[in-house]
Structure 1
């Protein structure tokens, strides 16, 4: 089977193991560079600077291993005017390269591996052309009815990722102030366990972010919008998923693995083989029972049922304490794909049959188009602004 045929589930709750691949910078020429200023050591190989300029925006495929902390901020706009985008792009470049006059104050140790990503919501995209990717709102899925309006949607997404969590608030506050008339809709911080590439354990203790596009061809096929004013952009879906960790951990290890369809320790499929092997949906016990249960997450989300493509997942854990005595903790699921259908087809299938859903409560939902990359000569959102007139 081709890799695009092995998508195994909703935004990061899938399991598995690391697959190899050439780093994106080496493959495309938009390589990262060492930090050039600030403290500590500018030669620290663990914190390569993430260049803001490129064919695509940073914070999606760059860096290969997502930073350990993130903040996502959604804004509402008073109008659909886009004349501020070019100045916003220049501001981001100034912050990351240290030339902004406030850089020494908000980033006293330098930008490190900071990346800042900008997206636009469906209302704004539809005002330009309702036929563009990303002009469609997310539908309501099962159990979405309890999501408050204050945690839905938004006109602008600003996402900052960094190994230094103290940088996130001042950086995004500065960037948000450059969006004229904007008001905050929702704001969410998240963190990741130590990881390699996109692989990380989710709050339920299972490996996450394994089956994702790898290499230029798969990113072109599954992630980047191929043409038009949004070419080299991508459609982002964000879901705030509260997880009932206590209830899940109260189950036996065997029951937990049956929910996912994979082993907890190494992520190998219950159908047999190693961590890198595909799930065999036809494998049965001598008694005729499926080795991967009928309602296991891996089976429920398999593309043979959904007809969907691969999505790039860069999920984060959130923990916002207790709300009315209930732990408000879970997965801040973030995925990227060139068509919204990749996500919606998968989620609609999961709504029908997925053992994992009994432990998941959606508490936030949004979609944005992440604009194409930019640089000093190619302003942020230039093609879209030209079409908008």
Structure 2
């Protein structure tokens, strides 16, 4: 999906709306403080697929009041203006900003064909979203879901020609399962959706990377991981656990690991590009996040696993756009922090 990224990138470290890609909003209603030793909540849904992982996690409850108007003004296909080079070249900024756009546009545009494109809009649905997680196979929206409302939206007569109709076909644990009503064997148009009281899980037919190539099977696998009935990435892999612990606790966090580090742009729902940055081409895994401290200050955390890291290259790019930064390299473990301050 083509998008105008300047509207997001310029807000980070350049204006007070850096809050659109940040975490840790103290005092936000409905956002609970996370214990220091806890993994971020989104990790309960992460699983390794063919020894790889790629994700975008958004704390929508924390960001909604800060970014909704700005994101709504950013339209795919708009003429792209020149992005300030210091932001474009900083792996602590560009991938996180692009990840936020990917998740937001997936809901607004991809879910529109299922009648759920306005899910993030205030007052559009009784159901409310607190957090979003986009992986290569699925979108997970957690919050408070109105089952009757979503059932009516999915199974009712489509209001527009492009909207697909669903039927409830099964139950998986606490989830009602819906599948696309089809009149042919075109699997690319099929999708599977699971609805519970506290989560909505969507697996589109197109671009699925799961070995099954079957949306319903991928939905079952995602729900199993979320319910702790299948192995989670942070339990399976010490490397993934370290990356997330070191840099994954933010209002927007993105990550790539293993085989997904060099995946093609046309594979999966998430298309990060950490490998395009000098010094990160040989990384085994990367996680980066951005957080807001107040209306003038945002902070970022970065972690990577790189065999024989090029310290000079990393010093040149990590946090290069920040007002303050620190970089630490110990063996194959690279960490960095940055602070962006809006000038008075």
TM-score (normalised: structure 1): 0.28
Q: Which has the higher contact order (CA 8 A, sep 6+)?
A: 1
Q: Higher strand proportion, which one?
A: 2
Q: Looking at CA atoms only, which structure, 1 or 2, has the larger radius of gyration?
A: 1
